[in-house]
Amino acid sequence: MLFLLNKGMNKPIKAIIFDADGMVINGERFSNRFSQTFGVPLEKISAFFEKEFKDCILGKKDLKSVIGPYFKDWNWTGTFEELLMFWFGQSYKVDNLVIEKALEFKSQGKTCVLAINQDKYRTSYIKEEMGLGKVFDFIISSSDIGFKKPQKEFFDEIIKKLPNIKKEEVLFFDDRVEHIKAAKEYGFNAKQYTNIKDLQNGA
């Protein structure tokens, strides 16, 4: 396993960066599921994510204060907390196979990091309710630092929290091509994640 992870890399890998949605967490996109469940046109839901939500994931706006005006268009009569439960608790589940690999890597002395573009409410849910704060050595969220993947400043924050590890000793996984490209340009080893075999084989 160590050989496969380090294959083709100049230095041994000391830290592995995990993506959340599409890797550690799987499930149907909230907007699609909400549209199908409540019969709301997808474009009415997408409008929020194309506008205000972009500021929420950078920590510039509070989700609770900006999502309320959309409830009418979404025909949502429940509370903010009930919406979050549908969004966070019912739409997504942790991939236990990925968690097992993360714990295996940690047992080998590697630092495992979860790097996410999320607002503060889902960041908290991921850490506490999903228990991932106990799995990973630390979690870096865009809403905490004011930058998101694939911005260089986001990668800078990762390195700051890995003071004894160099860029070339980091293996970065993500399911989005643009994030992989930026991570490689930054100096990380980067691999696109499609399934558990990518994590097992490092390719």
Q: What is the pLDDT of residues 171-203, one digit of tens each?
A: 999 999 999 999 999 999 999 999 999 988 764
Cβ burial, residue 99 (10 Å; 0-12/13-18/19+)? middle
Share of the chain above pLDDT 90, in %: 88
List the domains of the chain with CATH numbers. Answer: 2-26+93-201 (3.40.50.1000), 30-89 (no CATH)
Confidence at residue 201, expressed as pLDDT on a 0 to 100 scale: 77
Give me the mean pLDDT over the 100-111 stretch. 96
pLDDT, mean of residues 140-165: 97
For residue 130, the model assigns a pLDDT of 94
What burial class does residue 46 get, using C-beta atoms within 10 Å of its C-beta: 0-12 exposed, 13-18 middle, 19+ buried? middle
**Tell me, what's the pLDDT at 2?**
43
Distance, CA of 45 to CA of 86 (rounded, Å): 14
What pLDDT, on the 0 to 100 scale, is given for residue 89?
Answer: 85
The H or E element spanning position 33 is helix 30-38
Say yes or no to pLDDT of 92 above 90. no
Model's pTM, two decimal places? 0.91
* Average pLDDT of the residues of the chain: 92
- Residue that wins the pLDDT comparison between 167 and 5: 167
Q: Which residue type sits at 32?
A: N
For residue 203, what pLDDT is reported? Answer: 41
Average pLDDT over residues 6-34: 86
Instruction: Output DSSP code: residue 21.
Output: B
